[in-house]
Amino acid sequence: MAFFNKKSKFDSVSVVSVFPKIGTVVLRVDDKLIVFSPSYLLGKHGSTSKEVSSKFLEVRTARELLLVLKAHVTPRKLKGDRVEIKEVDIGIDCGFNNLVKLSPDLIGVLPQENVRGSNINLVYTTKGKIPKTQLMNFILVGFNPKFGQGVETLFSEKYGGNITFNEFTKVYAVLTLFPGKFAPPFQDTNFWNEHALLKEM
């Protein structure tokens, strides 16, 4: 007697759905969806970004970004409205770790730079001396249609109107992902008063 897995209605949805018109990708993880914009995420931490931030290395294309998300954002990690997956070793040099904790004598005396609206301490570093890292952090939040550029409508159309975002257990958006040690948002002044970002001279 043969046993068959009962086919889920979610199985009719491809693991990866791409919507080039709005530059958005939808990744299906079992009965949940993850929405992300490769150009936005790579723009924040890509090699061409002018901002002081942890820069990606070996994760430079939408395909490489997708492979990292598929491998490390697993169903059991997708719980709750906000998901923080911290310091996962992804097995390749994914970027540079430019976060350092300050000794007490350096707090309040370092130069600062405005990074996404917050003044952040800087430590100027010789070119090529910022250490590489294989750690990656993922932060996902509940999907908000206001910021989705109509992806939920395009998704429904792609699947003939037979399945919508509303039928999935949860739909997440990738708020950010970044290499290196985990750090809270720049608005967390207690943390950032005691830490700095390395910046090449």
Q: Which H or E run includes 33?
A: strand 32-36
One digit per residue, the tens of pLDDT, for the chain of length 201 reads 444 444 678 989 999 999 999 999 999 999 999 999 998 888 876 655 555 566 788 788 889 999 999 999 999 999 999 999 999 999 999 988 889 999 999 999 999 999 888 999 999 999 888 899 999 999 999 999 999 999 999 999 999 999 999 999 999 999 999 899 999 989 999 999 999 999 988
Other beta carbons less than 10 A from residue 36's beta carbon = 23
Which two three-digit tokens encode residue 31?
A: 């009965």
| Full-model pTM | 0.84
Cβ contacts of 187-192, under 8 Å, gap ≥ 24: 187/118, 189/118, 192/118, 192/120, 192/121
Query: Residues 6 or more apart from 12 whose CB is under 8 A from it?
Result: 159, 162, 163
